[in-house]
Every structure is written in C-alpha cells, then in structure tokens.
Amino acid sequence: MVFDDTGEEAASIGVLIEVEAPNRLVSTEPESGMVSAQTFTAVDGGAELVVHQTNVPSQYLTPEVEPAFQSSFEKLQALLDRESPNPRFEQ
C-alpha cells in the first residue's frame, strides 16, 4: 500500500488461497494472518466490489489508513475504466 499524500509505502505479501473466477478472490497475508475476501457482483452497467477482512492488524485500523485504501479503489477503477470489458477476446 502506498500513502498518496506522503509516498510512504507499507509493504505486504499476499497469498491467494481461494479463486472463484470471476466472482471471488480470497487472500491472506502470512505475516499478519489477515484474510481479505473480494467478491465481485454484476450490477447494471458494471460491477460491485465488496471487501471483507478478518484478523486486521491494529496499524490498519487507524483513520490515516482509510485514504490509502480509498486510493487503492480509485486506482482499480481507473484501471478498469481503461480496459476492454473482455480483454481476453481482443484481437
């Protein structure tokens, strides 16, 4: 994670432990034990992303971390806005 306002980086290593393409990804951070599940649901005109996390380390539960998470979602949205709806079918 990178804090946009300071450029500070908080490195983490995630390991995918469950993949149900294209609807769900579950990962864990072995060092902290945090588990993060991302569920994607088709909605009119796009997709809804729901993130559920457990065993979240206390350093991630501070108000300063919220803008970094929001920035991650904004960067994901920008990437998705750039991509074709079905990039694997592009010629």
User: What does the domain layout of the chain look like in residue ranges?
Assistant: 15-85
Residue type, 56: V
pTM score, two decimals?
Answer: 0.70
pLDDT digit string (tens) for the chain, length 91 residues: 666 677 777 677 889 999 999 899 999 999 899 999 999 999 887 888 999 999 999 988 988 888 878 888 888 888 877 765 555 444 3
Confidence at residue 83, expressed as pLDDT on a 0 to 100 scale = 62
